[in-house]
Structure 1
């Protein structure tokens, strides 16, 4: 299985008064090209999808666009909350993002609590 491990996107980051989401959105579009060219089978986002617990609509839109792009490529994603993410918000977004093929965990789950994800015939334990 070809897994692309990513982390620390920090969508919604404001640095010195400047919103960085447009730059991150461009990087995510380039990442979709890499997923296509390298025939990636699973994209892992290991924390800090967002920069803080409440983000701009532009930041959320950039995330949704990326995951919709993965769906068009037929590539699932696994997203795990990081210390900058709101665990509750990611849990709330999980059903919506599942429509794109993304599995999102805001809270840690052990195997017996549903913390095993089946992707393309392989099990990934969290």
Structure 2
């Protein structure tokens, strides 16, 4: 049985006003930042969760994701709306190492003025230590 991994995202409107500029953290308070948007999670994680960091300016409302190397296509199995706590999740296999490309979708808090997609973070389930042991 796997253990979920939560990645906290801080998002603000990009300089050009069209995208969400994102940073990714291991902690909800916006500390212990992942050095890049290529994120390695524990190989024993059966689920990847993206949640809002306390420091975010934009509200997470959904995401699309795709396993790199699989056929392209948009369907119900590769889209996740955010739940009531502004988190999204998708499953990760425990028996093979894969990389999923993710596009997070954000809006302004309160009144939706625009939708802001993130750049494409990638999540790979190849880390050898569980989240509580990562540095």
**Same-fold call, TM cutoff 0.5:** no
Q: Which has the higher helix share?
A: 1
Q: Which has the higher strand share?
A: 2
TM-score (norm. length: structure 2) = 0.28
TM-score (norm. length: structure 1) = 0.29
